[in-house]
Structure 1
Amino acid sequence: MMGFETRTTQAGAVVIRPEGRLNMVAAPRLREQLRELVENGSTRLVVDLGAIDFIDSSGLGALISGLKSARQAGGDLRIAAPTDQVQNVLTLTNLNRVLRSHDSADSAFDGG
């Protein structure tokens, strides 16, 4: 299973950058990759949504699953650069209150 691109910020957070549509086809890959990152000790995660042009309920589920895994391991999952479509879905579902959004992946964990 092909994974999404990852990198580490100066603050030590792991950034994962899915692209295109985060739907029932791609969401299981994201969910699995986030789970593996947490299992391997990366508990500060940032999902860069700047290249996502569509997200559905399965994509949201993958984000929430990653958030839960990271928090259970003593960390956090934050999102960065959500596109308008993603931001609209987050607002409509009130998940914008749960998933902290940041302008960039590099600033997501600045200051704490």
Structure 2
Amino acid sequence: MQFSIEQRERYTEVSGKGRLNMVTAPLLREVVAQAVGDGRTRIVLNLGEIIFMDSSGLGALIGCLKVARQAGGDLRIACVQPQVKMVLELTSMHRVLAPHPTVEEAFGND
């Protein structure tokens, strides 16, 4: 799995495709840590093409959120697919990482 990074006007968009699991979760953490290390602390994870997420993927999301917030920024998620949404809801993580309908709406008027 590859993750792409695009710098937008007010945030950095990180996108992936496929499965966010124990194999790919470390890569997501690395990509977000690199972006934050480069000073891009407002991150939107575009999950529109992530069709599956397990507990390792969930752990990666939490880790990425922590990295962004420790740097004075924030991490938000957008375009969440049904299986990923189910995992977020079953673990109540949707309260911490509220899914946004689109990438553009993730930071809204912030």
TM-score by length of 2: 0.95
Deviations 1:41-87 (A, max 9, x none): 01000000110110001111111111001111111000001000000
Letter in 1 for 2:5: T
**In the aligned structure 1, how far is the partner of 2:105 from the partner of 2:81?**
17
**In the aligned structure 2, how far is the partner of 1:3 from the partner of 1:45?**
17
**Structure 1 residue 106, shift from structure 2 partner:** 1.6
2:46 is aligned, of 45, 48, 69, to 48
Unmatched tracts of structure 1, length 5 or more: none
CA contact (8 A) 2:2 2:17 kept: no
**Structure 1 residue 107, shift from structure 2 partner:** 1.6
Letter in 1 for 2:3: F
CA contact (8 A) 1:15 1:47 kept: yes
CA contact (8 A) 1:9 1:106 kept: no
Q: Tell me the residue number matched to 1:33.
A: 31
- Structure 1 or 2: larger strand share? 2
Percentage of identical aligned residues: 51
CA contact (8 A) 1:3 1:33 kept: no
Aligned residues: 110
| Cα distance, 1:92–1:84 mapped onto 2, change above 3 Å | same
Deviations 1:20-61 (A, max 9, x none): 000011111001111111111010000001101100011111
Structural RMSD (CA): 1.2
